[in-house]
Amino acid sequence: MIEATHEVSNQVPELGDYNLYSSDAVLRTAVQRAGAQGHDAALSHYGERLGRMQTRQWARDANRHAPELESYDARGYRVDRVHFHPHWHQFLRMAFAHGMHCSAWAEPGPGAHAARAASYLLHGQAEAGSLCPITMTSAAIPLLRKEPWFGQVQDQLYSRQYDERDLPLAAKTGMMVGMGLTEKQGGSDLRGTATTASPVAAAGRGERYLLRGHKWFFSSPTSDAHLVLARHGESLSCFYVPRWMDSGDKNRVEIQRLKDKLGNRSNASAEVEFRDAQGILVGMEGRGIATLIEMAAYTRLDCVLGSTALLRQALVQALHHARHRRAFGRALADQELMRCVLLDLAIESEAATVLALRLAAAFDGGDEPLQQAYRRILTPAAKFWVCKRTEQAVAECMEVCGGNGYIEDGPMPRLYREAPVNSIWEGSGNIMCLDVLRALKDSPEAAGELIDELARDSAGEPLLTEAAQGLISLLRAGGSGLESAARHVARDLVLLVQAGLLRRHAPQAVADIFVRTRFGRAAGVFGVGIPAVAAQGLLERAWTP
Ligand SMILES: Cc1cc2nc3c(=O)[nH]c(=O)nc-3n(C[C@H](O)[C@H](O)[C@H](O)COP(=O)(O)OP(=O)(O)OC[C@H]3O[C@@H](n4cnc5c(N)ncnc54)[C@H](O)[C@@H]3O)c2cc1C
């Protein structure tokens, strides 16, 4: 017998089964506040399924085995099929069964958006790639249901049965919708869209057109339809482009290739060409960008949710590691400096979670100016800030896990690679900040209510009142200099709202540290300016499986 060279010791045990929902006190109380407490049992059930070791293994498989394109079949016929790992379908099956692609519309009512947001925060911790088609489908519904022909697709859109088969819609039990805007020459500035649409007979809403051109990014290409921006004459309109035509033939949307992406590997993102593909005009003719911007309000909320989920899961992994790994005679989680880092990360996660649920609740809210402000002004600001903070926080969580955090056997590299995409798609950081300025200008009443709320919530805390006054002065001064301050405006709006939420709903120590470190002598990295003594109890509160 060969003698062992060493004993394996001090390696962190695998994170076992745990309930993503019941172990998240911050999320649970945010769900209550958002009026979604009726969904508690369903969320707990979902959290239990998603937190199983087996589910984590599925996520690993679905991302290790990226989708593959089959352009032609064995006989040379064009087929444009995409083959996914079976566990990709498993995640979509779960999301559909839970209603994440439609519940906010199919079952409206108090807390509907907030409950869906909470599911999204859970699902995104287990597997993020499958959220893309879920987001697109859900965000397309408010547009499609304004169309007189919505009844023809409603049953499949609201169905809880995921149907992966590549068949005409009439033969399917459920459907997914994607979105095609970005072309080679530009994704932010859509005015340069070159894809053309020519009416088959009459022009106008609900009429049929033939689309010719391309899209450089076209995620979820196997969706049953995409909402596509195309040009008719001088104006841009939105078109519903099905994967299959009523004739029973495949629509002429040819997949050129699949993108080889940094992250988001389980999901397919394609380049496509439209070779006189059939499409139906959705919304008003010439209002294509406005129509799709309405959809973007929902997709941008989902980017905030997706990043909040990644941040939460990275935090859980970091806490698990630090509690089991020992160095210099003690667990990492008992080392003073490590506790500072972990607490700061936990506070960042809490701030993102309470904001995410507050935003989702605004989508459940009415037309009051403050609710509008959260939807229209704060959502793009949060997409900018939370997605960027998540990139940094996930990297810090990876470092907590040391060298093992960098190795593909564990989940950290996947979380790290996934983080930037929420910041890039659906409008990149600068575009979000410029959108915040536009929204502040275009919605003066909502902006006024928001500023009033920030001023009220800052009362009694000098660092906050100073920041709020600074922001107000900046906005009042306006002028040409405002554009260069757009990131400053978006950041401070988010931080002030997060501070207000934490002061109302979190333990005082959490709120105090947040204010001191985010508004004081801003540090830039996690773990600076945190009193280690405060971490006791707060780290247990952050996560105990
Ligand atoms: C994985 C993945 C999947 C995607 N899936 C889809 C999809 O399904 N459908 C779809 O339509 N698109 C999709 N996209 C495309 C995505 O939405 C675009 O990449 C994004 O909107 C940016 O557009 P762009 O790549 O053309 O960059 P550009 O528009 O060239 O922008 C580049 C940079 O310049 C900045 N910028 C632009 N204008 C200004 C300005 N005025 N001032 C300051 N800064 C500015 C932007 O913020 C960005 O940082 C996907 C992208 C990725 C990465």
Q: Over 404-467, what HEC string results?
A: HHCCCCCCHHHHHHHHHHHHHCCCCHHHHHHHHHHHHHHCHHHHHHHHHHHHHHHCCCHHHHHH
Q: Cα(422) to centroid of ligand 1, in Å?
A: 11
- Specify the pLDDT at position 401: 98
Residue nearest to atom 43 of ligand 1 (CA): 430
Ligand 1 closest atom vs CA 183: 26
**d(Cα 312, Cα 128) in Å, to the nearest integer?**
13
pLDDT in tens, the chain (545 residues): 789 999 999 999 999 999 999 999 999 999 999 999 999 999 999 999 999 999 999 999 999 999 999 999 999 999 999 999 999 999 999 999 999 999 999 999 999 999 999 999 999 999 999 999 999 999 999 999 999 999 999 999 999 999 999 999 999 999 999 999 999 999 999 999 999 999 999 999 999 999 999 999 999 999 999 999 999 999 999 999 999 999 999 999 999 999 999 999 999 999 999 999 999 999 999 999 999 989 999 999 999 999 999 999 999 999 999 999 999 999 999 999 999 999 999 999 999 999 999 999 999 988 999 999 999 999 999 999 999 999 999 999 999 999 999 999 999 999 999 999 999 999 999 999 999 999 999 999 999 999 999 999 999 999 999 999 999 999 988 888 899 999 999 999 999 999 999 999 999 999 999 999 999 875 689 999 898 777 779 999 999 99
How high is the pLDDT of residue 453? 95
Tokens of 509: 């120590």
> DSSP assignment, residue 220?
S
Q: How far is the CA of 183 from the centre of ligand 1 (A)?
A: 10
Residues in contact with ligand 1 (CB, 6 Å cut-off): 178-182, 186-188, 217-219, 261, 264, 269, 421, 424-431
Question: Atom 6, ligand 1: which residue's CA is nearest?
Answer: 217
Residue 523: what pLDDT? 62
CB 384 within 8 A of CB 306: no
Atom of ligand 1 nearest to the CA of 181: 11
CA–CA gap between residue 389 and residue 419 (Å, rounded): 10
Q: Provide the CA 74 distance to its chain's centre, in angstroms.
A: 38
Q: How many angstroms is it from 426 CA to the middle of ligand 1?
A: 7
According to the model, what pLDDT value does residue 520 have? 80
Cα separation of 47 and 59, whole Å?
15
Ligand 1, atom 52, lies closest to the CA of 425
Phi, psi of 129 (to 5 degrees): -60, -35
Q: Give the number of other CB atoms < 10 A from CB of residue 91.
A: 26
Gap from CA of 190 to ligand 1 centroid (Å): 10
Ligand 1: residue whose CA is nearest its atom 31: 188
Q: Are 498 and 481 in contact (CB under 8 A)?
A: no
Give the position, in ligand 1's atom list, of the atom nearest the Cα of 215: 11
Query: Which pLDDT value is given to residue 247?
Result: 93
Minimal CA–CA distance to 301: which of 50, 114, 97, 506?
A: 114
CA distances from 469 to 203, 455, 459 (A): 52, 8, 11
Of 217, 218, 271, 436, the one to substitute when testing ligand 1's pocket (max ligand atoms within 8 A of C-beta) is 217
Q: Which of 228, 239, 291, 424 to mutate to test the pocket of ligand 1 (most atoms within 8 A of CB)?
A: 424
Q: What is the pTM of this model?
A: 0.98
Task: Identify the H or E element spanning 41.
Answer: helix 40-50
d(CA 127, CA 296): 22
Separation CA 30–CA 34 (nearest Å): 6
